[in-house]
Structure formats: structure tokens, C-alpha cells
Amino acid sequence: MADTIAGDFWGEPEIVEREDSQLHYWIDGPADAPLVVCTHGASMDHRMFTPQREALVDAGYRVLVWDMRGHGLSKPMGTEFSVAAATDDLRAVLYAVGVEEVTLVGHSFGGFVSQEFLYQSPEMVRALVVIGSSDLTANGPRREDLLLSLSPYLFRAMPNDLRRRIVAQTTALRPEVREYAYDATSQLSKDEFYQVWHAVADHPRPEREYQIPCPFLLTHGDEDIVGTIAKHAPAWAAREPNATYHVIEEAGHNANQDNPEEFNLVLCTFLNEHVQ
């Protein structure tokens, strides 16, 4: 597996003990630099942000990556996997680190978690970056929501290897990124994957009038075929007065891995303008 994609688990992790899980996280960069917190998507793990590590540190940031409960090294999954549980876990990690202000970068389901954290604690979030995710507060068309709600049951009925290959093929364009995605999702058992995907499909979408109050970078790959993310992203960006919208060329759902050169340039430009 290519080092630029998978990395080496970023060295020895720090651990936060939760009542029903052990959360693993990694930090790199100067202790006094602005902290950028990266949250991976469903069935991925912290390694998906390895292509951003050097770029962020070189640009003068401190970067934190972590494995959500049930993913990567953060086992066991515990009694609940949901947007709410993952948001509480992220808060526990940040409390352990001892920071009062962060920039959140969230991919896919990690974008939901980042949005929910921002909604709960806007005073802690300097800026928000979303990769291949949708508006947590917006319901989709009825047909799209119905198909999404059925998807966990379809995945549960599949043989494990078929499910892993489908995730890998739909996640990325580059062979080495697909290899990473297959490896990452293989770390979840069939029951764990079902719990995760059930949270993706059935997370609550609060009926609230809400606009993101901080600088907001919305990105996705130009060939992102996961759900209807790419279809609805322009309208989401248009609703947000603080949004910067950028489509990453030659990239799928894991756009930051498929085209790290373009993504890193867009990310660091945004951070330098709004955070540094």
C-alpha cells in the first residue's frame, strides 16, 4: 500500500478512554500553531488524511487526526454509533488535548460530525471544511431519502468481500486509494459496518433554520458518485453566506486522496486567508 495514501498510523497514538470505547488520535506540528482537526468518513480511518499531513504542518498548522469509535484502532464500537455519539467523542478528544479553538475538516460522515460540533459549540470553531458531505440540516427529496434509508439493509445482505469492493470502487478513482479504502473498511465487521451505515442513512436532520456562522469551505470530487452529494452541493453553497465552494478535479468521493495536490492547495489557501 502506498505510503502517501496509507501512512504508518502516524506513529504511536494517544488514547482517550471512553466508557465503552478507546479513542485513538495523533497530533503533528508546532504546539502553539492553529489546530486543524480532521475527521474521516464512514468505514475509513485517520490514514485518509496522510496526504494532508506534510502540507498542513509546512503551512504552519498543527494537525490532529483520529479514528472514530469502531474504526481503525478505536475499538470496540461500544453501545452506540451515531452523529451524536461521534460528536461527543470528538469533544472528549479535544478536551484531552486542551484546546479552546479549532478548525474542523470533515469527510463524508465526518462532515456531519463536524457540522454538529459547530452547531453545539460555535465559539470553539474558527472555520469549517467539508469534503464530500451534505448539509446536516437539509432533508433530501423523498425518493432519495427512501433509497438511502434502504441502503444499510442492502449492505447487510451482501457478502463481506462484495461490500468491501463496492465501497472501494465507489469511494475513489486511483487504484492505491481504492486499495486503502478496501483495507480501511475491512477493519469493520459486518455488524459494525451495518451500525455505521445505519447512522449515515438514518441520522436525524433537525428542522432548524441554520447558516454556518464561520468561514466555510465546501469541496467534493468532480466524479463523486456517492449518493447525491455532488448534485446538491452547489445549492448548499449558495445558501451559505460564508461559503467558498470548490470542485476538485479528477477526484472521487475521497477527493483529498485522489487529487491531494489540488486539494492541499485549496485547503491551505482557505486556511491562510481565514485562520492563520
Minimal CA–CA distance to 181: which of 136, 234, 226?
226
The pLDDT value given to residue 203: 63
Across the range 3-21, mean pLDDT stands at 75
Dump pLDDT digits (tens) for 106-116. Answer: 999 999 999 99
pLDDT at 207: 58
The CATH homologous superfamily for domain 3-274 is Alpha/Beta hydrolase fold, catalytic domain (3.40.50.1820)
At 236 the pLDDT is 94
How would you classify the pairing of strands 14-17 and 22-28? antiparallel
Are 258 and 48 in contact by the 8 Å Cβ rule? The answer is no
CB 62 within 8 A of CB 35: yes
Question: What average pLDDT does the chain have?
Answer: 90
C-alpha cell of 234? 452547489
What integer is the mean pLDDT of 4-9?
48
Enter the C-alpha cell of residue 23: 479513542
Residue 151 — pLDDT band, cuts 50, 70, 90? low
pLDDT tier at 163 (50, 70, 90 boundaries)?
A: confident
260: Cβ contacts below 8 Å, ≥ 6 apart:
4, 51, 52, 55
pLDDT (tens digit per residue) in 33-82 = 999 999 999 999 999 999 999 999 999 999 999 999 999 999 999 988 99
pLDDT at residue 228 in the model: 85
Domain assignments of the chain as residue spans, ordered by start: 3-274
Q: Is 272 helix (H, G, I), strand (E, B) or coil?
A: helix
24 has which bridge partners? 15, 67
Strands 102-107 and 216-221: unpaired
Helix (H/G/I), strand (E/B), else coil: 125: strand
Rounded CA separation 186/201 (Å): 20
Q: Are strands 102-107 and 62-67 parallel, antiparallel or unpaired?
A: unpaired
Task: Give the whole-angstrom CA distance, residue 36 versus residue 176.
Answer: 25
Measured distance CA(217)–CA(199) in Å, rounded = 24
- For a pLDDT cut of 70, what percent of the chain falls above it? 88
pLDDT 10s digits, 236-275: 999 999 999 999 999 999 999 999 999 999 999 999 999 9
* 6 or 65, greater pLDDT: 65
